[in-house]
Amino acid sequence: MKEETAVKKPLKWYDAITMNVIYLAITLRSQTLTPLIVPLLVQQFVGDASKGTSYGNMRLVSLMVALLVQALAGQLSDRSTSRFGKRRPFIAVSGILEIIAFIAIGVIAGTMEGMEGYTALFVVVILSMVSSNIGHGAAQGLIPDLVPSEQRGRYSAIKTFFELPLPLIIVAFTVSKMVSAGNLWGALIFISVVMLIAVILTMFVRETPQEGPVEPVDWESILRLVVMTLAFTGIILLVGWGVKNILPYAQSLEGNVSTIFIAVVGVVGMLIAVALGVIASVRISLGRQASERPAFTWWVVNRLAFLVGANNLASFVLYFIQERFPQYQGSEAAGPTSRLILAVGIAILVISIPAGWLTDKFGKKPLLFISGIMAAIGTLLVILTPNMTLIYVGGVLIGLASGIFFVANWALGTEIVPQKEAGRWLGISNLAGAGAGAIGGYIGGPIGDGAGFVLLMGLYGFLFLFSTLALFKIKIPNGAVAPAVNE
């Protein structure tokens, strides 16, 4: 089926920056809140015994909200006829709301305690997810809108550079030092300033306003998104309920039998949530269109399985370091956590731009296969070694794998989705982005509390391996993407 394409303005060198700089702010926000500020505040409010479960519950709800909002924002921006462009108005509103949410987190941290503080934090994190994903859902349409197919590997590499290595390095050298020193407000003000600058730069994207008439809002499609989100959430809740109820029995077993049984239960639960969650959700959200592009479903499975490992290694790494190295407790664990994040970030920085060239030259699927194997090896090194230096080496391997994965996977996705509805389809692909944290957090949190976060890290490593299996189901039909036309 041939896609409709609009005539596009010739690309300038700075377009790669203005199209992608918003991802710097989005990831700086997530890499500040997810592995550092929020887990420390959850631990402060609820204590050590239930920190993993409490954090996992927060991750599930907030990320399922993010899933719905990002998909809606992508779909609505597809139809926008604003004279400021299809995507930019959503990004501007998103940035303003995010800064308000950052301020609210600072107020909660300084004025509340106990379950009152946890409940207030829960609400504000959800609101932050809403605001962040209004912009994120719209921004994902910029490359499909404006970049020819043959250049998307390179533009995806620039996206990856802004989305991964740069914010990770910034966090390690600035934000983490503030958090370690107890300067929470300094960290929140810093990410607010970066958000503001990124939004301003994104306003220079050379979007041409979409001329009407456009297709009316598809209310059936929106209802499908709501049902999709509820179904995906229900699957995760059901699997999580099963895992939580099996855990007490597994913990009653002796020695290695208990550990092995818990590991099997955790892996099986996460795999069921990944495969069943994606297949059911894509069919609900896209209806008959899902069967027309089966490669999209398996692309999301590949993306989700990898991100369950990558995102949750970051989410729970602070608790992992506290467990593995008793000398690092409380905010003191922020230092080694940030250095591990730095190692990952430098590795991604080194590989992100070459990965774009490699993707265009050797193809997406071979590089995705390599990235899954490499990430699994890096995770194995992290959990087996008692030496922080070797843990950093493992982080480098995971970083290299992640850099390759994000470039190749996103370039593959932009070929699979219909160009005319890129925002809608790529918004739905946030089943992977949001679902990763929800599955890994809600199912993994109780496992970490009950069996240890070292075991939990091993389960995430197995998900990297599983991501490679989905590649064998991704077959792109000829002519899936029509070439863009430049003036």
Alpha-helix residue ranges (DSSP H) falling in 253-363? 255-286, 288-292, 294-324, 334-362
Q: Residue 153: left if φ>0, alpha if ψ -120 to 50, beta else—which one?
A: alpha
Closest CA to 131 of 22, 254, 266: 22
| Sign of the alpha-carbon dihedral angle for 430, 176, 375, 447 | negative
Distances (CA, A) of 485 to 8, 151, 267, 326, 361: 6, 12, 46, 59, 22
For residues 426-449, average pLDDT: 83
pLDDT bucket at 423, cuts 50 / 70 / 90? low
In sequence order, the β-bridge partners of residue 363 are: none
Burial class (CB in 10 A: 0-12, 13-18, 19+), 267: middle
Q: How far apart are CA 427 and CA 69, in angstroms?
A: 9
Q: Are 57 and 42 a contacting pair, CB within 8 Å?
A: no
- Identify the structural domains of the chain with CATH numbers, from first to last: 7-476 (1.20.1250.20)
Residue 94 pLDDT exceeds 80: yes
Closest CA to 308 of 462, 122, 453: 462
Residue 484 pLDDT exceeds 60: no
Q: In this structure, what token pair is assigned to residue 150?
A: 């043959």
Closest CA to 460 of 300, 305, 276: 305
Q: Are 334 and 40 a contacting pair, CB within 8 Å?
A: yes
Tens-place pLDDT, residues 353-373: 788 888 878 888 999 999 999
Tens-place pLDDT, residues 310-347: 888 877 888 888 888 887 877 778 778 878 888 888 88
Residue 77 pLDDT exceeds 80: yes
Closest CA to 285 of 33, 74, 14: 74
| pLDDT value of residue 228 | 85
The pTM of this model reads 0.74
pLDDT bucket at 487, cuts 50 / 70 / 90? very low
For 440, half-sphere exposure in the C-beta direction (CA atoms, 13 angstrom radius) is: 34
| pLDDT value of residue 214 | 67
The residue whose two tokens read 């912009």 is 135
| Lowest-pLDDT range of 9-18, 145-154, 179-188, 209-218 | 209-218
Closest CA to 88 of 17, 141, 132: 141
For residues 203-227, average pLDDT: 80
Side chain identity at residue 107, one-letter code: V
For residues 471-483, average pLDDT: 63
Q: DSSP assignment, residue 207?
A: P
For residues 122-137, average pLDDT: 95
| Lowest-pLDDT range of 146-150, 179-183, 305-309 | 146-150
Q: How far apart are CA 23 and CA 75, in angstroms?
A: 19
Share above pLDDT 90 across residues of the chain, in percent, rounded to a whole number:
43
Q: Are 143 and 98 a contacting pair, CB within 8 Å?
A: no
| pLDDT value of residue 294 | 87
| Lowest-pLDDT range of 127-131, 217-221, 225-229 | 217-221
At 239, give phi and psi (nearest 5°): -65, -45
Residue 7 pLDDT exceeds 60: no
Residue 205 pLDDT exceeds 50: yes
Q: How many angstroms from the chain centroid is the CA of residue 250?
A: 31
Residue 413 has a CB neighbour count (10 Å cut-off) of 25
In sequence order, the β-bridge partners of residue 486 are: 8
Cα pseudo-dihedral 81, 82, 87, 89, rounded to 10 = -150
Treating both helix axes as pointing N-terminal to C-terminal, what angle do 184-202 and 88-111 enclose, rounded to 10 degrees? 170
Share above pLDDT 70 across residues of the chain, in percent, rounded to a whole number:
94
Q: DSSP assignment, residue 369?
A: H
| Lowest-pLDDT range of 44-53, 211-220, 227-236 | 211-220
For residues 69-80, average pLDDT: 86
Residue 257 pLDDT exceeds 50: yes
Residue 481 pLDDT exceeds 50: no
Residue 350 pLDDT exceeds 90: no
